[in-house]
Structure 1
Amino acid sequence: MACAASAAVATVGLAVSPAAASAAAPAKAAPATTAQAEAGAACTAADLGTRHPYIKTSEVTPTITHFNGWYVTNGSTGTQTVNTSVQTTISVSVGLTGNVEGSFAVETLGKVGASLGLNVQVNYTSTSSTSTSVTWNFRNPGYYGLYKGTKKVTGTYGSLNCNRVQQGDGSWALKWIQGSDTGSYTTFTTLEEGAVRCEDQVPANSIMRKAQDLLDCGSATATAKHAAGPVPSAKAAKARHEAERAERAATAEKSVKAAGGPAAAPAVGAAALNCQPAVYRIDVPGKPLNWSAPLLANDGVRLRESNFFSAHLDNWKLCNVTEQNGVIEASLWNWGNGGCATIPAAIANQEQAYLTTATCGEDDLQRFSIYRDVPGSSKIGVQNKYTGSMLGHDRYADGELIRQYSSGRQDGTGTYTLTVV
């Protein structure tokens, strides 16, 4: 192994590190036909390297983002501007990224809105985390709750992947199947603001009703006579702290559920691999370039042409292979440098993060689902287990990095062939 690597250093030369490489062009947007990606529907070999979301669960919760209790007396009616304090901040997010990055996240939120009939945010944004004001025309005296709020939408999603399926007559066909990856999302609807009194009749489970609940209408504070101005109590502050605590607890619970339970402690050292005997190249179909592992730790897997000097860097084995519902999951061990293909942990949440190799270990960043064409064809699509993203390349060129794309490459450039050496 060491001799092969040394020979490669002497002949191939040093590659430019991914950090120094010019940025790849943005992934192309999914075509309008993506609406046809439904479980059980037909797909093509060009779809092997793509995926599309489907919504598994959703929950809509009216949420107050800003609030203040306010007394209006007979002499203080009319238009007033009232400062409100933050109750909770909602940030749009999908999956691991903590925001909305890549076409898969946008498509996910689009499907959320369509399934619920709501106009939800589909780009990264958040409600205000600072105090804001509400201007309102108070026609009658009374005890008011001034508020800003929205409908918070949360839930989980899964992905549809193209894979071969054996039909009842024994023949094979490519169809969209439900993949094993899942994640959670958060978004919200259009913000609204207003004022509500204890005596107002408002719809149950509405944003206005949530604001009315914060007035604590049965309390002494609500019924007491008081001069015009803010409520002289800690009600708003208490409500804010309770909302923030509930928000943190709910977020932590959903993160654990989305991950399938509490995270296990990382394994120490390299794990022993059980590799299949076959050796493969991962080729661009009908082209001479294929995946070649890096020589340097800070470089990535690139498209290269196989030749005498490849030193097995273009040779891969499938290790610790499992299969479920016709989908292979495996670690990709490189014969040339002895490492396993992985997405670097530091950039795993980024669209177009590059593929590299590292010391083999029990790590989902080193596990890949392999979606296959019908028997007789060696075409495949490759998906990282941890990130859920599909692997592909931005352009066909010698030295081009293999990267992850949340929805895959919709032009078919994420479809490869698994060729036995």
Structure 2
Amino acid sequence: MAVTAAAAAWAVTAMSLAASPAAAAPTGTTASRLGDACTAADLGTRHPYIKTTEVSPTITHFKGWFVTEGTTGNQTVTTSTQTTISVSVGLNNNIEGSFAPETLGKAGTSVGLNVKVEYASTSTESNSVTWHFGQPGYYGVYKGTKKVTGTYGSLNCNRVQQGDGSWALKWIEGPDGGNFTTYTTLEEGAVRCQDKVPPDSIMAKAQTLLDCGSAAAKAEHPAGAVAPTAKQKRDRLEQHPAPPSGPSAEQPRATGRSARAALDCQAEIYKIAVPGKPLSWGAPILAADGVRLRPSSIFSAHLDNWRLCNVTERNGVIEASLWNWGIGGCATISGQNPAAERAALTTVNCTEDDLQRFYIYRDVPGSSKIGVQNKYTGYMTGYDRYADGEFIRQYSSGRQDGTGTYTLIRV
């Protein structure tokens, strides 16, 4: 998906360059590595790649338990919550669409573990552990898991100029990314101070919580919960961050940019159209409505005319606000939860909120095909079906059938 020949950063070189080989039927190419070839059908898609990972044995429930002579055998011990782990990718812990599960799956593969790839959370309630205690002694009764955290980036299709001056479409590192958290299957057990356990294991982590000091110290809390360490307290804070307060369609939340009285818009006016077909993005007339596919006509009242404003470019990727001529508002993601899969685009007063900023991925010069990605959510735009009145929506991985590819047609 690319920007048409226009001015400055949009200019096409004088040499005649063919459009990318993606002009053919959409293929839904799956991203593999940075620098691999992609097609114009991939301009509206994204795929995750794992940048960093960390595996931390973590105790979720624990209790110090003293077993005396005559009390060995099966016992049920009620443990107390130490740490709560919630699966999350990016903005929140709503694992929707395909991008988040793909991210978690790749994270698990990279560390060689089977991890949760859907939303899950360890229990915040006290948990019982039934265990056979064969010998008297002081035990740490626990439930735990391996917590896997890290950072991810996205692979996006965009034009890249090669060493000989020609252009090609390749998978590049997109401007967006974030953090993820997941964990492995829970394990439960009991461990004593004198037990030899594998280092960096869940059992070893439980042993560090066990008071292995003097008998007098143990007598002070023979069956009490061991207090969490300072690190566990920090982990708890990390696991319970303040939830993102999604902006409403009427008043988007500022995300790092202050409101501006006026936008610096380019003079060119565009239609954002479906390649080779008559429908294009049309702004809503009613405030509660969304951006829809519409046919252009003399009655369109410029609702299908868009300007690119406050344009910047980094590593060949355009960032811009999309200002509609017909209503004088900017495109944004609607709804109280902006990270929702299939949330519709709408228009609001321009405030330079990151929800109103979009990345534009371009086909090779000579082609007007583009892909559009929201800066705040990282989701790609597309539509469920080609029809008059169909909403333009966001999809975490884009539309793999090529319906996230548009043409930017200068009016």
TM-score (norm 2): 0.87
Q: Does 1:198 align with 2:193?
A: yes
Q: Distance in 2 between matches of 1:342 and 1:158?
A: 23
Contiguous gaps of at least 5 residues in structure 2? 1-26, 245-253
Q: Distance in 2 between matches of 1:161 and 1:265?
A: 23
Q: How does 1:207-286 map to 2 (within 5 A)?
A: 207-220=202-215, 223-224=218-219, 231-233=222-224, 235-236=225-226, 238-239=227-228, 243-249=232-238, 267-268=258-259, 270-286=260-276
Output one character per residue of 1:51-80: Cα deviation in whole Å (capped at 9) or x when no partner.
000111111111001111111112011111
Q: How does 1:289-300 map to 2 (within 5 A)?
A: 289-300=279-290
Q: Which amino acid aligns with 2:268?
A: A
Per-residue deviation, 1:214: 1.1
Determine the structure 2 residue equivalent to 1:24: none
Q: Percent identity?
A: 70
Determine the structure 2 residue equivalent to 1:129: 124
Q: Does 1:173 align with 2:168?
A: yes
Determine the structure 2 residue equivalent to 1:376: 366
Determine the structure 1 residue equivalent to 2:410: 420
Q: Which amino acid aligns with 1:87?
A: Q
Q: How does 1:1-400 map to 2 (within 5 A)?
A: 34=30, 36-220=31-215, 223-224=218-219, 231-233=222-224, 235-236=225-226, 238-239=227-228, 243-249=232-238, 267-268=258-259, 270-344=260-334, 346-400=336-390
Per-residue deviation, 1:147: 0.4
Contiguous gaps of at least 5 residues in structure 1? 1-30, 256-262
SS of corresponding position for 1:74: coil
Indicate how the Cα distance of structure 1 residues 219 and 350 shifts in structure 2: closer, same or farther if over 3 A, else same: farther
CA contact (8 A) 1:271 1:362 kept: no
CA contact (8 A) 1:372 1:379 kept: yes
Per-residue deviation, 1:249: 4.7
SS of corresponding position for 2:103: helix
Indicate how the Cα distance of structure 1 residues 264 and 163 shifts in structure 2: closer, same or farther if over 3 A, else same: closer
Indicate how the Cα distance of structure 1 residues 266 and 277 shifts in structure 2: closer, same or farther if over 3 A, else same: closer
Per-residue deviation, 1:240: 7.5
More helix by share: 1
Instruction: Kindly report the root-mean-square deviation, in angstroms, between the aligned alpha carbons of the 2 structures.
Output: 2.1
CA contact (8 A) 2:84 2:239 kept: no
CA contact (8 A) 2:66 2:223 kept: no
Indicate how the Cα distance of structure 1 residues 338 and 265 shifts in structure 2: closer, same or farther if over 3 A, else same: same
Residues 409-418 or 132-141, more deviating:
132-141
Residues 159-168 or 67-76, more deviating:
67-76
CA contact (8 A) 1:87 1:241 kept: no
Q: Distance in 2 between matches of 1:412 and 1:394?
A: 11
SS of corresponding position for 1:108: helix
Per-residue deviation, 1:242: 6.4
Residues 298-307 or 93-102, more deviating:
93-102
Q: Distance in 2 between matches of 1:57 and 1:191?
A: 23
Q: Distance in 2 between matches of 1:85 and 1:378?
A: 60
Residues 300-309 or 78-87, more deviating:
78-87
- Count the aligned residue pairs: 375
CA contact (8 A) 1:198 1:215 kept: yes
SS of corresponding position for 2:70: helix
Per-residue deviation, 1:101: 1.1
SS of corresponding position for 1:68: strand
Indicate how the Cα distance of structure 1 residues 221 and 392 shifts in structure 2: closer, same or farther if over 3 A, else same: farther
Indicate how the Cα distance of structure 1 residues 181 and 266 shifts in structure 2: closer, same or farther if over 3 A, else same: closer
Per-residue deviation, 1:37: 2.7
Q: Distance in 1 between matches of 2:111 and 2:216?
A: 39
TM-score (norm 1): 0.85
CA contact (8 A) 1:143 1:222 kept: no
CA contact (8 A) 2:86 2:181 kept: yes
Indicate how the Cα distance of structure 1 residues 180 and 291 shifts in structure 2: closer, same or farther if over 3 A, else same: same
Output one character per residue of 1:272-316: Cα deviation in whole Å (capped at 9) or x when no partner.
211111110000011100000011111100000001110000000
Per-residue deviation, 1:182: 1.2
Q: Which amino acid aligns with 2:237?
A: R
SS of corresponding position for 1:409: coil
Determine the structure 1 residue equivalent to 2:249: none
CA contact (8 A) 1:152 1:187 kept: yes
Per-residue deviation, 1:97: 2.9
Indicate how the Cα distance of structure 1 residues 280 and 171 shifts in structure 2: closer, same or farther if over 3 A, else same: same
SS of corresponding position for 1:190: coil
Q: Which amino acid aligns with 1:409?
A: R
Q: Distance in 2 between matches of 1:73 and 1:104?
A: 52
